[in-house]
Amino acid sequence: MNALKDLSREELIKMKDELEAAFEAAKAKELKLDMSRGKPSVAQYDLGADLLDTITSASSFTAENGLDCRNYGVLDGIPEAKKLMADIMGTDPSHVLVAGNSSLNLMYDSVSRSFTHGVLGNTPWYKLDKIKFLCPVPGYDRHFAITEHFGIEMINIPLNEDGPDMDLVEKYVNSDETVKGIWCVPKYSNPCGYTYSKETVERFAALKPAAKDFRIYWDNAYAVHDLYDEGDELADIISLCEKAGNPDMVYEFSSTSKISLAGSGIAALATSEANLADIKKSLTIQTIGYDKINQLRHVKCYKNIEGIKAHMKKHAAFLRPKFEAVLKTFEANLDGLGIGSWTTPKGGYFISFTTMDGCAKEIVAKCKEAGVTLTGAGATFPYKKDPKDNNIRIAPSFPSPEDMAKAADLFVLCVKLVSVNHLLSL
């Protein structure tokens, strides 16, 4: 196909008329499709139903260390749950604290605790004039919402295929003591689906922060979420930080939200011994212990990391056709037109689409007008401000493959129509 920018004005006007007619026909179909969030589908929830049958009133409620999981106590999780979550994250159980169902809650608590009580004896953030976080972009909107909620200044860091721009990360972290953290989704990043290279992870581990309380918020949400047998590999940042002499510099988060049941999974934090001791000082006051029966039933259901991997292959069988339906539609209808590019991830839950500058908001609005809901344009940037207005996050997981193909067709139509109008306005 010829790039649209090479067409004459007369050709663009003719194309616009054809696209507008097609758009009106699409609206008449009255579609109601949702690609706004990375939610598992009903079929995926059904895969996790066995979890609910694992423990009954006749079951043993005793953990491997003899603890009765029905009782109070144990802040950091039962041993077998710590082992399971450690294996998912690729670290050692001694680093792990297993909590409730939400890793996002653990992240929020980590920021909140830093504000109210400080990190390892450092000044609580509420006493400081300025706090900054680095934000690789495009990135995860809920991360940005946490830091915005606390009034933290967020700084955009471009995200490349091998990870964040580490020259910029090193410049900020190593020279500015007001930089207290960086958000990272290191494997199958949200929304691009990129996995940080080993070199990038090594550069993270070797940072020399100006702030003693700087922490890497390493949200390893998609650690076992491969779409194909040949998935991406992520280096273990905790061992690399230890090797580099920075054992306390990272908080790693994970959960089973997109493994078992999104609302009833288990979440975990992995970090150094010193950080864990510091965190437990607050946890002792915050809770008498998380849901240990839920931890126990996860271990009884999945047994070990091999059981988790086998289960995730079943998830991949549902997700892969949806991703492929979207990518096939993009390749067939947009390749070579010069009006959009997209990522082709090997795992995770999202595809990132880059429009012509200044077109993302209008494309999302057009899709909504015709019955397809997308994540709001700008959501993948701090303060919901995409400086180029060119990024759209696509979440293929919830609709059926057939509905996903319909949604992709409409999306392509809207991309073409908005892009032609944009070119005609230049």
Are residues 313 and 297 part of one domain?
A: no
Are residues 376 and 339 part of one domain?
A: yes
Read off the pLDDT of residues 225-282 as tens digits, 9 standing for 90 and up. Answer: 999 999 999 999 999 999 999 999 999 999 999 999 998 999 999 999 999 999 999 9
Are residues 322 and 214 part of one domain?
A: no
> In this predicted structure, what is the pLDDT of residue 33?
87
| Residue 345, in any domain of the structure | yes
Domain's final residue, options 286, 303, 320:
303
Residue whose token pair is 């491969």: 226
Domain's final residue, options 251, 279, 303:
303
| Residue 56, in any domain of the structure | no
Find the domain containing 99 and state its range: 61-303
Q: How many whole angstroms separate alpha carbon 340 and alpha carbon 277?
A: 49
Q: Could you tell me the CATH number of the domain that includes residue 120?
A: 3.40.640.10
| Residue 138, in any domain of the structure | yes
Confidence of residue 405 (pLDDT cuts 50, 70, 90): confident
> In this predicted structure, what is the pLDDT of residue 36?
84
Q: How many whole angstroms separate alpha carbon 144 and alpha carbon 255?
A: 19
Read off the pLDDT of residues 153-203 as tens digits, 9 standing for 90 and up. Answer: 999 999 999 999 999 999 999 999 999 999 999 999 999 999 999 999 999
Domain's final residue, options 303, 326, 359:
303
Are residues 208 and 315 part of one domain?
A: no
Using omega within 30 degrees of 0 as the cis cutoff, is the peptide bond preceding 136 cis?
no
Are residues 72 and 12 part of one domain?
A: no
Are residues 185 and 138 part of one domain?
A: yes
Note the helical H segments in 118-258. Answer: 141-149, 166-175, 198-205, 237-243
Are residues 256 and 332 part of one domain?
A: no
Question: Which tokens hold the place of 237?
Answer: 């940042």
> In this predicted structure, what is the pLDDT of residue 1?
61
Q: Which of 338, 385, 334 is nearest to 360 (CA)?
A: 385
Phi–psi pair at 329, nearest 5 degrees: -65, -45
Q: Could you tell me the CATH number of the domain that includes residue 346?
A: 3.90.1150.10
Beta strands in 320-407 (DSSP E): 340-342, 351-355, 372-374, 391-394
Q: How many whole angstroms separate alpha carbon 140 and alpha carbon 185?
A: 8
Confidence of residue 287 (pLDDT cuts 50, 70, 90): very high
Are residues 240 and 156 part of one domain?
A: yes
Q: How many whole angstroms separate alpha carbon 334 and alpha carbon 325?
A: 14
> In this predicted structure, what is the pLDDT of residue 278?
97
Are residues 334 and 267 part of one domain?
A: no
Read off the pLDDT of residues 1-51 as tens digits, 9 standing for 90 and up. Answer: 679 999 999 999 999 999 999 999 999 998 898 888 888 988 898 988 899
Residue whose token pair is 């194909």: 228
Read off the pLDDT of residues 318-350 as tens digits, 9 standing for 90 and up. Answer: 999 999 999 999 999 999 999 999 999 999 999
Are residues 334 and 250 part of one domain?
A: no
Read off the pLDDT of residues 370-388 as tens digits, 9 standing for 90 and up. Answer: 999 999 999 999 999 999 9
Mean pLDDT in the chain? Answer: 96
| Residue 53, in any domain of the structure | no
| Residue 10, in any domain of the structure | yes
- Cβ neighbourhood burial of 310 (10 Å; 0-12, 13-18, 19+): exposed
Q: Which of 146, 141, 229 is nearest to 185 (CA)?
A: 141
| Residue 116, in any domain of the structure | yes
Q: How many domains does the chain have?
A: 2
- C-alpha distances out from residue 234 to 63, 202, 402, Å: 31, 11, 33
Question: Which tokens hold the place of 70?
Answer: 């029905």
Q: Does 368 score more than 80 pLDDT?
A: yes
| Residue 36, in any domain of the structure | yes
Angle between helix axes 103-117 and 141-149 (nearest 10 degrees) is: 20
Q: The pTM is what?
A: 0.96
| Residue 142, in any domain of the structure | yes
> What percentage of residues in the chain have a pLDDT greater than 70?
100
DSSP 8-class letter at 62: B
Are residues 126 and 175 part of one domain?
A: yes
Confidence of residue 408 (pLDDT cuts 50, 70, 90): very high
Are residues 158 and 285 part of one domain?
A: yes
Question: Which tokens hold the place of 214?
Answer: 């700087």
> In this predicted structure, what is the pLDDT of residue 401?
84
